Structure 1
Amino acid sequence: MAVVWLDDVRADDLDLVGGKGASLGELTGAGLPVPPGFVVTASTYRAFIEDAGIDDELFSAVEVDHEDSAALKQAHETAHNLIMGTPMPEDVREEILDAYRSIGDGDAFVAVRSSATAEDLPDASFAGQQETFLNVTEEELLESVKACWASLFSERAIYYRNRKGFPHDKVDIAVVVQQMVDSEKSGVMFTRHPSTGEKKVIIEAAWGLGEAVVSGTVSPDNYVVNRESGDVETATIADKKTMCVRDEETGQTVDREVPNEKRHDRVLTDGEVARLLELGELVEDHYETPQDVEWAVYDGDVYMLQSRPITTISEDANGDDGANERTRSDGVSDDVLMRGLGASPGIASGRARIVTKLDHLDQVAEGDIIVTEMTMPDMVPAMKRAAGIVTDEGGMTSHAAIVSRELGVPAVVGTGDATTTIDDGDIITIDGDKGTIREGEEPEEKQRQPVEEARPKTPVKPMTATEVKVNVSIPEAAERAAATGADGVGLLRIEHMVLTLGKTPERYIEQNGERAYVDEIVSGVREVAEEFYPRPVRVRTLDAPTDEFRQLEGGENEPREHNPMLGYRGIRRGLDNPSIFRLELQAFRRLFDMGYDNVEVMFPLVNDAEDVLRAKEHMIEAGIDPDKREWGVMIETPAAALSIRELADAGIDFASFGTNDLTQYTLAVDRNNEHVANIYDELHPAVLKLIGDTIEACRETGVKTSICGQAGSKPKMAQFLVEKGVSSISANIDAVRDVQHEVKRVEQRLLLDSVR
C-alpha cells in the first residue's frame, strides 16, 4: 500500500509515516477535529528509489565534503534530478490520485508536506528544511509528492546530515497530503505556561490563515484563560493590520489588509475560547504532557492542525497558580516595581532602554534591558544584544516570549505600562521566572543568563585601517564566517539560495507563489545578517547564468546561449525581467523593516549609469530609500570601470570589484576554458590599471571601494589594493586571517615610509 489514511495512523507508525504524519494520526485517532488526509508512506519512497535502481547512485552522489559549496550544490542537483526525472510507478500514481479524489468533492485544495522519519532525532536540524506545498490541486499533486521526496536532499539537509555523520541511506521520508482549511481565524495555543508550567491556557489569534501568527508577521490577540474556571483572565486585543488568505483566482497564499472595521475587533468569541480550552484539555490528556497546538476556525468549526510538546517548561516549575507570586529564595520580600508574566526564565540586571520606535534600536547596547510595548521580528538583532526583555503587552506565545526563550534571555511580558513607568536609563532587575521587575541591580552571582555561554566570542584580530571582510556563499556558513573576526560580509550571493530551491524562480513562483519566493530570500539573508549584526552584510542580487538555471525544474524555458557568462545574467536580466527583480527588492525591504539595517544592496554586472539609474528606480518603487540605505554596484566589466564617475553621480555608496569577471572580460579569457587558463591573470597590468584608476576616482567622489573576487585573497593583490587606498578587502573564509595580517603588514610599511 502506497497510502495510509490519517484515521489509521498512530504514534507507533513513526517509521512508516514520519513525525508529522504520526502526530496528525494521533490527533485524528483521539477524535479531535483534524482536516482529512492521507500519508504517502516512507516505504513508498524507499521502494521508488530501489525499484528504479537509483538508490546507489543517489547515496553516492551526496557523500561529499559538506564544507565545499560547489560540491554540495552539485550533490543536491544530482539527487534532485535523479528523483524528479524518475517516473512514478503507475500503480503508485493511481493510488495517490484515488486517495486525493476521496477528499472533499474530489477537487479540494490540499497541503503537501514532508514528514521525515528522522526529524525527531536530536540534532536533526535538517528535518526543518524539507518541503511544504500549499493549495495544491490534482494537476500538481504527483510532482509535489516527488518534490517532497527530493527535498530530503536539499543542500541544507545534505550539509547537516554529513556534518553530524548521519547516514543518508538511513533516512526515509513520508508525505502528508491533507485538505486545506481556508481559515477565517487561526492561531496557536499553549495548554500550560511554557516556562513555569502554570495551569493556564494561552491563546493567540488573528484573522485568516495561521501563517501570519506562526511567522510573527502580525500582532495577534492574546488570551490568558484560567483552566479551572474557564474564565478569560486577560484579553489583549491587537491592531491586526494584515492577514494571510487564499486568493480565490490563483489559489495562492497572499497578504491582504484587514478591513478597518475588523482591525481592532476581538478575534475569538467566548464560545470559541471555550471550545479551544476543551480541545486543549483533550490534547494534553491524550499525550499526557503540555502541548503547543496550531488551530484554525472555518465556518464555525475549530480544527486542530498540529500539536507538539512544550519543551521550554523549566525543570523546577511547580505548575501552581501562584507561580508569579513566589518570594525570593533567600526569604526576603521583593521590592517589586511592577509585575507581568514570566515568559523566559532567568534573572538579569541592566540599564533600561525604552524602545518605542525602530530608530531607538541602535541605542540598545550589549547588556541593556529592552523595555517596549511589544517586540516584532525587526527587533531581533537588538534582542540578541540585550540582557533581558520587558513588554507592555503579550503573553506566552507573543513574539517577545518565543524569541526570548530561543535566545535564552530572561523576559517579562504583559506588564501593562512598563514603557511609561520605567525611565530610560534606569537600572532594573527582571526575573523571568516570577514575572517581576525591581529597581536596582541584583548581585552578579544571582544573575542567570545561560545565553552568555552560547554566544560565540569574536576572536582578537589585527587592527587595520583597511577593513577585511569575508565572502559567504551559503547561509549555513555564517557562523563559521563570523568567527573569523571579519569586519563584515563583502559578498553574499542570492543565487545560491535560489538555486537550492531546485526550480527556476519563475517555476517556483508558479507553484508556490510570490510570497514563498520572497520568504526564501529573506530567510537566507536574515541568517547571515543576524550572525554578523551590526557588522555590514553586502548582498548581491541574482546573478546566475542561464546554463545554471537550465539544470533546474523549469529550465527548459531558459534561452540557449553560446557563452552564458557573456549573456543573460546580472542586472541586465533583472531589468529585462522586472517581475522577478522586484521580488528580490521586496525581500530587501522586508529585511530593512525587520530591523536589519546592516544589510547592503549590491547590483551585479552593470555597464553604465543607465543600468544604475534604472535599478535605483526599482528600489524606490519597492519602498527602499536609496538615500538612507547603503547600496552599490559590482565593477566586473571594463565599461563599468571606465564609467565610474558617472556611476558615482548616479548615487552609489560603494563599488566592489568582481575580479573573476573583470579579468576575463578585460583579457578576453574564458576562466572556465582550460585551453587559455595559462593566460588568465588577475594581476595583469591592464586589470590592475582599471582597478587602480577606479579606486582613485572613487576616493575623489566619496564612494567606498572593495574587492570581493578570489584575487582579494592573494597577498600581491592585497598589497596593491592597500597601497591604492581601497576601503575594504573581502576574502574567502579560510583566507581572512592571512589577509588581515598581510594588510596590517602593508599598512605598517606605508606608515614607516611616510615618516622617513
Structure 2
Amino acid sequence: MKEMPNILWLEEIKKEDIISVGGKGASLGEMTSLGLPVPKAFVVTAQAFRKFLIEKGIEDTVFRRLERLDVDDNDALESVSREVQDIVLSVDIPDHIKEDIIDAYARMGANGEVVAVRSSATAEDLPEASFAGQQETFLNVLGDDDLLEAVHRCWASLYGARAIYYRAKQGFDDRGVNIAVVVQDLIRSEKSGVLFTSHPVTGEPLTIVEGSWGLGEAVVSGSVSPDNYVFDLRSGRVVDRLIAEKEIMIVPEGERGVKTVNLSSEERIAPVLSDDEVARLATFGEIAEEHYGVPQDIEWAIVGDEIFILQSRPITTIRQPDIPRAGAKPESTLGEVLLEGQGASPGIASGRVVIVRDVRDTSTIKEGDILVTRMTNPDMVPAMRRVRAIVTDEGGMTCHAAIVSRELGTPAVVGTKKATKTLQDGQVISVDGEKGIIYEGAVETPAPAAQATTVAAAAPIITGTLVKVNVSLPEAAKRAADTGADGVGLLRIEHLILGLAKTPGWYVEHGEEETFINELYT
C-alpha cells in the first residue's frame, strides 16, 4: 500500500481517499469540504491498521484462518471469527501508532473530548453495497486508554462473523479489505435519526426523514419505531407524517458507554421534529445528493437549533417499479389481516413463522421461512439471506436491518409492535412489504410477469447544444441510453473501480494491468 500517515483530519480528506479512510471517513471529509455541519474528527487510517498487522507478525496468520472458510457453515464461521478477533486483540498496537492517536486526540480538546469511535472499512458505504452495521461503533468514549481500546476493537470487528459473511457474499477478498477508524466529537443529541434524499425503493424525489429522541443508535439499530416524515422537494413542504409511539431513547451514560432509558407517556407520542427542522434537514440532504450525483442515506443529530450531519452514504436499494404481475391475487383476497406495520422492503411472500428472540435462535431458520423478531440486527444477516420475508415489532424504514433487507430484495414489515406476541411459531402467513400488512395464510404463487413491450420513444427535441447525461453507476447505463441523450458528458469511473473489489494498486502489484482494463470494459 502507498505510504500514508497514521492520522488524517477531515479537512485533509476527499472522497477519492476511500482506500485510506474507508467509505465513512471519505464521505465525512467530502461533506466537510462542502461546508456541511460535520462534527470535528480525525481518522486512524487503513494504512495504520495494515502496519499493525504486519509489524506484529499476524497478517499471514489472520488470512490463513480465513482461507477456504465456508461462510454458510454457521458454527465454522463463528469459530473462525472468534479465533481471528482474538489474534488481533492479543497483540498491542505499535507504540508509534498509539502516539499518533493520542496526539491527535489531544488536539481535539485541552482536557480530552468525549468522542464517538466508528469503524470505516474500505469496502463500506459503496454505491453497490451498504455493508450497514457490519463493524463496531463505540459511543461516549473518554480518555487515552479507552480510545486506544475502542480503536483496537474496531480493528478486530473487521473479522466479526457478520462482516466476514457479508464480504464473502458480496464477492470481496478479505486480503483486499482494510479498516480505518473515525474518531469524532460525540454530539449529545436531543433528537437524531436518518434521512433518505430520495424514496429508498422507488427513487421518487421525496425526502424521507425518520427521527427519535436521544442518540441516533436507537433509530439505526431498530431499537425504536421512529417518527416518519415525508418532505416533497417539488412543493417544499411536509406532505405526510407518522408520529410513532417511541418507548425508549439511548443516551450517554456517565463518562463511558450509553444506556437505554424509558420515555414518559408524553414524550412517547410527542412529535420529534417541526416542519422547519424537516425542511432544513431536506436542504442539507439536497446539497449532499447534488454533490455526489446519487441519492444519499444520511445520519443527523440536533442539539438546540443546531443540526449536525454525522454520515452520508449512497442509497443501495432503489429499484425500478415492477411490471404488474399477471395473475397476481387482488389485495381483497389475500386473507385476513393479522397485523399492520411500516412497509420497509417491497414484495409479497408467504412462509412459516419462526420467532427469533435471540440471534442463537436463527439456527432453526430454514430456507423459505418468515423471520419474526422484536428487532433485527446485523448479526442476523446470514439468517436474513435464507428467509422469504421479515417482520419486526420495532424499527423504521431507515434502520440498518431494513436497508439490508431492501438490498437482499427480501420483503420486510417493521414496527408492528406486537408481531412476536400475535404470531405463532409454525403459523403460515403472507407478508406485503410494500403496504406493511401481514395476512393469514399463503398467497398463491403468481404467474410469471408479463413480457415488457417496447414503446417507441417520442420524437427527439432539437436543441442548439448537445444534451448529455452523467453516469455514476454501471447499472444506470441502460437507463441513461434510453433517455435519448446525445452522449455521456461525465462518466464517474471511480464507481466502476469500486465495483471490482480490488484496488488499481493491487492489479499493478500483481502484474494484472490488462485484467484490470478488461474488467472495466466488461
The TM-score range, normalised by the shorter chain, is 0.5 to 0.7
Aligned to 2:32: 28
Render the CA deviation track for 1:425-452: whole Å, top value 9, x for unaligned.
xx9998766899999998734378xxxx
The aligned runs of 1:517-528 (5 Å cut-off) are none
Q: 1:286 aligns with which of 287, 291, 294?
A: 291
Q: 1:173 aligns with which of 176, 179, 198?
A: 179
Q: 2:375 aligns with which of 358, 374, 377?
A: 377
Q: Is the 8 A contact 2:221 2:401 kept in 1?
A: no
Aligned to 2:346: 345
The aligned runs of 1:331-730 (5 Å cut-off) are 343-347=344-348, 376-377=374-375, 396-397=397-398, 405=406, 408-410=409-411, 444-446=445-447
- TM-fit CA distance, 1:79: 3.7
1:209 aligns with 2:215: yes
Q: 2:263 aligns with which of 235, 249, 258?
A: 258
- TM-fit CA distance, 1:28: 1.4
Aligned to 2:244: 238
Q: Is the 8 A contact 1:224 1:234 kept in 2?
A: yes
Aligned to 1:690: none
Aligned to 1:113: 118
CA distance in 2, matches of 1:127, 1:332: 33
Does the C-alpha gap of structure 1 residues 408 and 101 become closer, same or farther in structure 2, counting only changes over 3 Å?
Answer: same
1:228 aligns with 2:234: yes
Does the C-alpha gap of structure 1 residues 157 and 340 become closer, same or farther in structure 2, counting only changes over 3 Å?
Answer: closer
- TM-fit CA distance, 1:265: 0.8
- TM-fit CA distance, 1:213: 0.9
- TM-fit CA distance, 1:262: 1.6
CA distance in 1, matches of 2:348, 2:444: 10
Aligned to 1:313: 318
- TM-fit CA distance, 1:146: 3.5
- TM-fit CA distance, 1:120: 6.0
CA distance in 1, matches of 2:296, 2:445: 35
1:77 aligns with 2:86: yes
Could you tell me which amino acid in structure 2 is paired with residue 40 of structure 1?
V
Render the CA deviation track for 1:554-592: whole Å, top value 9, x for unaligned.
xxxxxxxxxxxxxxxxxxxxxxxxxxxxxxxxxxxxxxx
Could you tell me which amino acid in structure 2 is paired with residue 283 of structure 1?
A
CA distance in 2, matches of 1:385, 1:150: 27
Aligned to 2:47: 43
1:3 aligns with 2:1: no
Question: What SS does the aligned partner of 1:304 have?
Answer: strand
CA distance in 2, matches of 1:294, 1:246: 18
CA distance in 1, matches of 2:414, 2:252: 33
Q: 1:88 aligns with which of 87, 95, 102?
A: 95
Could you tell me which amino acid in structure 2 is paired with residue 181 of structure 1?
I
Question: What SS does the aligned partner of 1:240 have?
Answer: coil
Aligned to 1:59: 60
Could you tell me which amino acid in structure 2 is paired with residue 32 of structure 1?
L
Deviates more, 1:116-125 or 1:270-279: 116-125
Aligned-residue sequence identity (percent) comes to 51
Question: What SS does the aligned partner of 2:112 have?
Answer: coil
Could you tell me which amino acid in structure 2 is paired with residue 103 of structure 1?
M
CA distance in 1, matches of 2:94, 2:399: 45
Q: Is the 8 A contact 1:349 1:428 kept in 2?
A: yes
Deviates more, 1:200-209 or 1:169-178: 169-178
CA distance in 1, matches of 2:395, 2:169: 38
CA distance in 2, matches of 1:307, 1:104: 25
TM-score (norm. length: structure 1): 0.45
- TM-fit CA distance, 1:385: 10
- TM-fit CA distance, 1:252: 2.3
Q: Is the 8 A contact 2:38 2:308 kept in 1?
A: yes
Render the CA deviation track for 1:706-755: whole Å, top value 9, x for unaligned.
xxxxxxxxxxxxxxxxxxxxxxxxxxxxxxxxxxxxxxxxxxxxxxxxxx
1:301 aligns with 2:302: no
- TM-fit CA distance, 1:152: 4.0
- TM-fit CA distance, 1:267: 0.6
Question: What SS does the aligned partner of 2:189 have?
Answer: coil
Q: Is the 8 A contact 1:236 1:394 kept in 2?
A: no
Does the C-alpha gap of structure 1 residues 279 and 97 become closer, same or farther in structure 2, counting only changes over 3 Å?
Answer: same
Q: Is the 8 A contact 1:79 1:153 kept in 2?
A: no
Q: 1:267 aligns with which of 244, 249, 272?
A: 272
Does the C-alpha gap of structure 1 residues 68 and 22 become closer, same or farther in structure 2, counting only changes over 3 Å?
Answer: closer
Q: Is the 8 A contact 1:186 1:296 kept in 2?
A: yes
The aligned runs of 1:317-328 (5 Å cut-off) are 328=324
Q: Is the 8 A contact 2:43 2:182 kept in 1?
A: yes
Aligned to 2:198: 192
CA distance in 2, matches of 1:414, 1:162: 30
Q: Is the 8 A contact 2:375 2:393 kept in 1?
A: no
Question: What SS does the aligned partner of 1:33 have?
Answer: coil
CA distance in 2, matches of 1:157, 1:400: 14
Q: Is the 8 A contact 1:292 1:308 kept in 2?
A: yes
Aligned to 2:458: none
Does the C-alpha gap of structure 1 residues 75 and 122 become closer, same or farther in structure 2, counting only changes over 3 Å?
Answer: farther
Q: Is the 8 A contact 1:5 1:39 kept in 2?
A: yes
> Could you say which structure has the greater relative contact order, defined with CA pairs below 8 angstroms and 6 or more residues apart?
2
Aligned to 2:421: none
Render the CA deviation track for 1:367-403: whole Å, top value 9, x for unaligned.
9999x9xx84289999999977899999743799657
Q: 1:16 aligns with which of 4, 20, 38?
A: 20
Question: What SS does the aligned partner of 1:149 have?
Answer: helix
Does the C-alpha gap of structure 1 residues 71 and 288 become closer, same or farther in structure 2, counting only changes over 3 Å?
Answer: closer
Does the C-alpha gap of structure 1 residues 81 and 270 become closer, same or farther in structure 2, counting only changes over 3 Å?
Answer: same
Q: Is the 8 A contact 1:110 1:177 kept in 2?
A: yes
Could you tell me which amino acid in structure 1 is paired with residue 115 of structure 2?
V
CA distance in 2, matches of 1:42, 1:403: 25
Render the CA deviation track for 1:94-120: whole Å, top value 9, x for unaligned.
443332223255421011222222446
Aligned to 2:137: 132
Q: Is the 8 A contact 1:131 1:147 kept in 2?
A: yes
CA distance in 2, matches of 1:369, 1:159: 21
Q: Is the 8 A contact 2:250 2:261 kept in 1?
A: yes
Question: What SS does the aligned partner of 2:64 have?
Answer: coil
Question: What SS does the aligned partner of 1:278 have?
Answer: helix
Q: Give the structure with the larger helix fraction.
A: 1
CA distance in 2, matches of 1:158, 1:330: 40
CA distance in 1, matches of 2:329, 2:77: 58
Q: Is the 8 A contact 1:400 1:413 kept in 2?
A: no
Q: Is the 8 A contact 2:374 2:393 kept in 1?
A: no
- TM-fit CA distance, 1:165: 9.4
- TM-fit CA distance, 1:2: 2.6
CA distance in 1, matches of 2:431, 2:176: 46
- TM-fit CA distance, 1:70: 6.5
Question: What SS does the aligned partner of 1:311 have?
Answer: coil
CA distance in 2, matches of 1:79, 1:305: 28
Could you tell me which amino acid in structure 1 is paired with residue 268 of structure 2?
R
Question: What SS does the aligned partner of 1:182 have?
Answer: coil
CA distance in 2, matches of 1:164, 1:437: 30
CA distance in 2, matches of 1:165, 1:367: 24
- TM-fit CA distance, 1:183: 0.8
